[in-house]
Each structure stands twice: as structure tokens, then as C-alpha cells.
A and B are shown apart, each in its own frame.
Chain A
Amino acid sequence: MQVDDLHVAYLRSQIAGEEQGALNALNALAPDQMTPLVTLVYEAFVLATRMWFGPGFTHGEVIRLVAAIRGLSTDDPDFVNPAAAESVIRRALGENAPLPPDPAARITAQFVLLDFLVRAMSLDDDGIDKLLDEARTRADRALAG
């Protein structure tokens, strides 16, 4: 099982906010193709998180980032579970933080955080391509292992 172009197309459309493009890519995926997509999203999220924080970080910075993101959607801040979001960030940065028990909360947090970080870092098309290429390589390695 490997990441293919459709997975990457989906995530690129999602990051660009192209809902129809994301939907088309998602509809073209077979049900058994979700595992590579989840892995690709995770690896892209990990890379974006490490780019954002750099080599050093504090828990306070993680907490403030999550609060800032949730504060942007004050209509429904609970869309992102803060404990789950903080935990996935800390795990992405190499800490042994508890794994959020709810997979949906984990994946939602990864998606929302990835989306925010790509925008906040002002990644252009080349930057997004580079991120997705590296995420794909890492995801394929993880899926092969």
C-alpha cells in the first residue's frame, strides 16, 4: 500500500481550500485507499509542525497556538478538541504525550493545524509541493514498514 497521486491531489486541494477539487479526489479514492491518505496527512502535519516550531519549543507555545487557532473559529471552537490538538503537536515534536483516544479528534486536529500552519508560514506553491513531496516519501516509508 502506497501513497498515489490522488492522495496528494486531495491534500493539495484541501490545503488550497479548493473544496470541489478535494471532493473529486476523495470520490475517486477506493475505500481501501484511506490508510495511505491518513498517513500522508499525518506526515504533512508533522513536517509543518516541525517547520513552525523549529528545534525548540515550550508547552506554553503549543497551548497558545492551539488557543489562537480555536479562537479564530469562535462560532464553533469545540470543532478542534484542545487537549487532542496539543497532544498531537507534542507528539509530532517528539514528546511522548498521551495519544488522544478519539481518532476523529486526532485527525480533525491534524487537518486544522496543517491548514493553519501552511497559511501562517505563507508557503507558496513551491513550498507546498516540497512539503507534500517530503510527506509522501515519509508516508510511503511508514506504510512499507
Chain B
Amino acid sequence: MPTGEKQIAALRLLLAEGNHEKSGDVVRAMDDPARRDLLGLVSATLLELADRKFEGADLPGAVIDWVAEFRATSTAAADALDPAAGEQVILLVLGMSDAADLDPRKSRDTQLFLVQALVHDLSLDAQEIDELLASAWKLVERSGK
């Protein structure tokens, strides 16, 4: 299996099909290096999405507004996303924050949550998600060199 295929498959199951169970199965079958690459793919995907969503926007105000609007849609969304963490993670990938006071586990969970939220927000279809993940994986490969 070519490098990246498992990671892309796991994330694709989540983003394109909303299949948490199958995605979890793929992740559980990964060894530690493969899981590290998956985390890299999630970060790179978030970077791609945040770039698209906030390109040319007035920061950090636009990020504060977006996180608030997302959380304002329902109590479940409000409870699921910690506003300070959500803003910080987005601003971090956009190069406007630092990770000094962010718990690594919370950061990872928030990244994955935001990737799903932004894919939904941008109304990406299955083909666009495939293109997104392919582009994000190139970033992972580039950063690994």
C-alpha cells in the first residue's frame, strides 16, 4: 500500500462518509508511525481548509466570529467545541498563535473536530474531499523531508 493511503482512507471515511466506526477500525489497525502520519494529515488538512476559509479575512476577528457562529447553531455544537481552543488551533495553523498553552491531546481532538466542521461549512463533495486530502498529504510528505 503506498504511503499515505491508510491515513487518507481513515480520514476520507470520516469526512466523506461520516463513518466513524470504519474510520476508527482503520486507525486502530495502524502502527505508531502510521498514526503519527495520520495526525500530520489531520493538521495539514486543517491548514488547507483554514487557508480556504480565512484567506484575506480580517484575523483574528474572522476566526472568533466563525467559531462563535458554528457554536451558536446548537447546544451540542456549543458544548462540543471549546471556543478558546477552537480559535487557538485555527490561528495556530494560520501562523497567528503559538501552542504554548494548548494541551496536546485537546489540540489533536480539536483539530479533528474543526476539520469536520470546516468540510461541512465549505460544503465539500466527495471529489473535493479527495482532492483536499491528496493536497494535504503532499504537505505531510514535504514537511517530512
Contacts and interface: CB of A to CB of B under 8 A. Distances in A.
B83 A82 contact: yes
A86 B83 CA distance: 10
Secondary structure type dominating chain A contacts: helix
Contact of B65 (A67, A78, A81, A86): A67
A83 B82 contact: yes
A78 B63 CA distance: 13
Contacts of B58: 74
B68 A67 contact: yes
Interface residues of A, number: 16
Contact of B68 (A63, A74, A78, A81): A63
B108 interface: no
Nearest to B86: A82
B84 A71 contact: no
A142 B122 CA distance: 50
B78 A63 contact: yes
Nearest to B82: A83
A77 B68 contact: no
A70 B71 contact: no
A60 B67 CA distance: 11
Interface in A66-124: 66-67, 70-71, 74, 77-78, 81-83, 86
Contacts of B84: 78, 81-83
B72 A59 contact: yes
A74 B87 CA distance: 12
15 contacts: A59-B72, A59-B75, A60-B72, A60-B73, A63-B72, A63-B78, A66-B83, A67-B67, A71-B65, A74-B60, A74-B64, A77-B60, A82-B68, A82-B83, A86-B78
The 9 closest A-B pairs by CB, nearest first: A67-B68, A60-B72, A82-B83, A63-B72, A71-B61, A74-B61, A71-B64, A63-B68, A63-B71
Interface of B: 58, 60-61, 64-65, 67-69, 71-73, 75, 78, 82-84, 87
